Amino acid sequence: MKKIVVLGAGMVGSAMALDLAKNHNVTSVDRDAAVLNDLSQKSNINTIQADFSDFKKISTIVKKFDFVVGAVPGFLGFKILETVIKAGKDIVDISFFPEDCFLLAQLAKENNVTAVMDCGVAPGMSNLILGYHEKTMKISNFECLVGGLPFVRELPFQYKAPFSPVDVLEEYTRPARYVENGYEVVKPALSDAEFVHFDEVGTLESFNSDGLRSIIRTIKAPNMKEKTLRYPGHIQLIQALKQAGFFSQEEIRINGVNVKPIDFTAKMLFDQWKLKPGEKEFTIMRITVEGKEKGKSKKYVYELFDKTDEATGISSMARTTGYTCTATVNLLLEGKFKKKGVFPPEYLGRENGCLDYIIKYLKERGVVYRINN
């Protein structure tokens, strides 16, 4: 039994803490006393209240543990990862920060640390699957379509944020990078909208988002893209808000107070996008990998449709994201990946047995990937 600290007790962080607490001594850290109290009542999880912007305090905290799990908002993720690495602790992280993770690679090696980042559902499982197939295929095309949505569609947004609304807005504003005919292409987020049918939920609308992240650099394939899924009509509404300036980072002065429009927007949307108690949602994903395998054309399609766990109330996005991360934590603790440095998930996918271990771990928790080839 290892002593593990989970940094962040939000929807996903709490789900990870509960999962890890089945076999380990777990402590959860967050600035919100209410969420910590709620978590401690559900399981034998220890709690520490702390502000994640106090990096000195976070460093002191993590030094007491065998392993660290990162589940903080994206804008804090890179600095938290750096803090944990300097403390000499192994970490698996899901903060999806915008900075280049490889800037910390040498630091991790110097501190004898294994750091796995972007270890969620997408990025995360999508990277693992692509890295796995890269070993045996000359990949020509990779596509990941993914989204988390409520079952009940409520106008105007027809959306609820299963994670931080600030990070959702980041997804709507960060330029989307993808690879086309061997070249990196950059387009605005929300661009190239198209309808896609899924048997489980009908027609959804996809749009460009910056989900490829590290694989643009680590995987050599001529065509790669990730698109986010929403109910039809959502994109048009978000584009209108964006064009009207509600997502701007430039401060404006209102009644003598400087305000960033995006901060105001996030605050206004938080309550509207928050899942109600007992509200059910789902995660849907379709990953397509095409190329040549043993000289023959081959196509693999991975499909995921996961729903809120009615028995525990844990959301699907927390399950699909969080359990991928906790699977990786156990994978490392069992010594199945021993390399030192900073690693995006596709590096784990290249290692024999890692993807199979994680898929099995997820299946044991009811998160099932269907594979067609």
Q: What is the mean pLDDT of the chain?
A: 94
pLDDT of amino acid 325: 98
Average pLDDT over residues 328-357: 97
The CATH classification of domain 125-307, taken from the options 3.30.360.10, 3.40.630.150, 2.60.120.10, 3.40.640.10: 3.30.360.10
- Whether pLDDT at 240 is above 90: yes
Give the model's confidence band at 41: pLDDT under 50 very low, under 70 low, under 90 confident, else very high. Answer: confident
pLDDT of amino acid 167: 74
pLDDT of amino acid 42: 83
Average pLDDT over residues 113-123: 96
Q: pLDDT over 70 for what percent of the chain? A: 99
CATH architecture of 3-121+316-372: 3-Layer(aba) Sandwich (3.40)
| Angle subtended at Cα 211 by Cα 81 and Cα 242, rounded to the nearest 5 degrees | 105
- Whether pLDDT at 123 is above 90: yes
pLDDT of amino acid 164: 66
Placement of tokens 């000499």 in the chain: 88
pLDDT of amino acid 179: 97
User: Which of 60-64, 266-270, 346-350 is predicted with the least confidence, judged by mean pLDDT?
Assistant: 266-270
Average pLDDT over residues 305-324: 95
Average pLDDT over residues 344-367: 97
Where along the chain do its domains lie?
A: 3-121+316-372, 125-307
Average pLDDT over residues 25-41: 94
Give the model's confidence band at 1: pLDDT under 50 very low, under 70 low, under 90 confident, else very high. Answer: confident
- Whether pLDDT at 269 is above 90: no
Average pLDDT over residues 92-111: 95
- Whether pLDDT at 352 is above 80: yes
pLDDT of amino acid 163: 65
Give the model's confidence band at 275: pLDDT under 50 very low, under 70 low, under 90 confident, else very high. Answer: confident
Q: Is the pTM of this model over 0.95?
A: no
